[in-house]
Amino acid sequence: MNNVIIGQSGGPTAAINASVAGAYVRAKELGAQKVFGMLHGIEGLVNGNIIDLDIYLSDPTNVELLKRTPASVLGTCRYKLSDASKDDTDYKKIFDVLEKNNIDKLFYVGGNDSMDTIMQLSDYAKDHGKPQCFIGIPKTIDNDLPVTDHCPGFGSAAKYIATSVKELIRDNQAADTRNPATVIVEIMGRNAGWLAASAALSKADDCTGPDAIYLPEKPFDMDAFMKHMKELSDKKKPILIAISEGIKLADGTYVCELGGDVATDAFGHKQMSAACKVLADKLSSELGLRTRTVELSTLQRAASHMASLTDVREAYQCGFEAVNAANAGETGKMIIMKRMMYQLGGNENNWSSECPYMCSYGTYDIHSIANYEKMVPDEWITSDGCGLTEQFEKYARPLIFGEVTPIMAGGLPRHLVIKEAL
């Protein structure tokens, strides 16, 4: 095997580095002489900023540390390659770096935008008779990539969100009974509500779960919301609701926009401000409720101290499988996960994914993945629009199972730092 390179892109997750670990380990097993890392993703590659990962990862302890390190250890970027037919400057630079370093396999860990990069690069290689293979490794806390059962990164974020929401519910329910508070927890997710939905996982016999959960998949009906909150508050009990940052009215206006200006990022995504503040102000001024807002913010994508073992293992395996796929000559593909289904009681119409939960791995054409988004299915949202059905729980619960014991030093989780990426 010639040399390979791996990079990371987009928003970090608690499991994104496990994919680098998996790809590194497998490439070495398959005889790659060098495994390079792009510093700050494709933007670094364009500029020739790459490092030999042996410096850090030849020590197996560091591989373990890497699996427990949040945020992209190699640095990330939000860099969109231009259309090669209009401007191929970046492409020429990239293939120049690959050829000079004898790299014939490129792996990119990321979400929708990063898969666009893999698509552009593999298409360019095909169009220009280049031999390199390009494989995408799924990663996004948003869980919105199509085809794959779920995305590495989601399980850890979901575990952190469900844990934090459970603790916030305890905190709120323990409070002064005379003046119960209404807590609004704002959770990431522009268009897909998977993360906010995860708040539902806090429900168990030791936790009531949130009183309502609002996802961007359903138009947000302000009148129905206020009516529901009035009914809840009439019970004079502490209330906690979870909302997705991306909830929007039927006319497409984001709830957060009702509170003021928003900006737009390099990919044309609207930057959200706090929808929870808009709702809290309304509940306070119109219903006289005592409100508190909690934005889980970037904490939810960085909390490797509460990572899901299932998630970290799967992220590792996705990196591992990406190398296998490229080694078999595949290109222009993303690694996907498929949940195993078990036939029950010899009945060919009765299948379950629950005993035990397990995923197999495969590849899928990047053209059917890049720039598509997977939403929470309509039938997994309760008919009142503010809850999740048992089907969601069956889907999501196995993804938060197990803990990754942090390696502690000085009372804090230890992280691997790649100094060149700082």
Least CB distance to a copy of itself at residue 127 (A): 28
Single residue of 145, 157, 201, 323 touching a copy of itself by CB under 8 A: 201
Using rule CB under 8 A, residue 355 touches a copy of itself: no
415 is a contact residue toward a copy of itself (CB under 8 A): yes
358 binds a copy of itself (CB under 8 A): no
Q: Read off the amino acid at residue 242.
A: A
Q: How many residues bind a copy of itself (CB under 8 A)?
A: 67
Among 1, 34, 62, 78, the residue binding a copy of itself under the rule CB under 8 A is 78
Interface with a copy of itself in residues 296-335 (CB under 8 A): 297-299, 301-306, 308
150 binds a copy of itself (CB under 8 A): no
**Binding of a copy of itself at residue 409 (CB under 8 A)?**
yes
Tokens read off for 80: 């969109």
Between 162 and 181, how does the x/- string for binding to a copy of itself read (CB under 8 A)? xxx-xxx-xxxxxxxxx---
Residues 58-77 that bind a copy of itself (CB under 8 A): 69-73, 75-77
Residues in binding site? 11, 112, 140-142, 188-190, 245
Q: x-or-dash pattern for a copy of itself, window 16-55, by CB under 8 A?
A: ------------------------x--x------------
Q: Are 100 and 33 in contact (CB under 8 A)?
A: no
The reply on whether position 295 binds a copy of itself by CB under 8 A is yes
87 is known as an active-site residue: no
- C-alpha–C-alpha distance, residues 88 and 80, integer Å: 13
Closest separation in Å from C-beta 355 to a copy of itself = 16
Q: Which is nearer to a copy of itself, 310 or 317 (CB)?
A: 310
Closest C-alpha among 3, 337, 301, 309 to residue 137:
337
Query: Exactly one of 142, 144, 211, 311 is catalytic; which is it?
Result: 142
Considering only 7, 12, 111, 180, the residue that binds a copy of itself (CB under 8 A) is: 12
Contact call for residues 336 and 317 (beta carbons, < 8 A): no
Which residues are part of a known binding site for Mg(2+)? 112
Span near a copy of itself by CB under 8 A; candidates 90-98, 121-129, 155-163, 349-357: 155-163
CA distance 100 to 115: 24
Question: Rounded to a whole number, what is the largest CA-CA distance in the chain?
Answer: 73
Please answer whether residues 247 and 184 qualify as being in contact, where contact means their C-beta atoms are separated by less than 8 angstroms: no
Residues in CB range of 383: below 8 A, 6 or more apart: none
Distances (CA, A) of 66 to 16, 59, 101, 142, 237: 10, 11, 25, 22, 44
Question: Integer distance in angstroms from the first to the last C-alpha of the chain?
Answer: 30
R_g (Cα) of the chain, nearest Å: 22
- DSSP codes, 52-107: ETHHHHSSHHHHHHHHT--S-TT-----PPPPTTT--HHHHHHHHHHHHTTEEEEE
Please tell me what DSSP assigns to residue 204: B
Q: Which of 347, 339, 52, 385 is nearest to 244 (CA)?
A: 385
The interface mask with a copy of itself, positions 376-405, x = CB under 8 A, is ---------------------x--xxxx--
CB of 162 to a copy of itself, least distance (A): 6
- Which residue ranges make up the annotated binding site for substrate? 140-142, 188-190, 245
Which residues are annotated binding-site positions for diphosphate?
Answer: 11
What is d(CA 167, CA 162) in angstroms, rounded to the nearest whole number? 9
State the catalytic residues.
Answer: 142
Q: Which residues bind a copy of itself (CB under 8 A)?
A: 12, 40, 43, 69-73, 75-79, 159, 162-164, 166-168, 170-178, 183, 201-202, 204, 206-207, 292-295, 297-299, 301-306, 308, 397, 400-403, 406, 408-417, 421-422
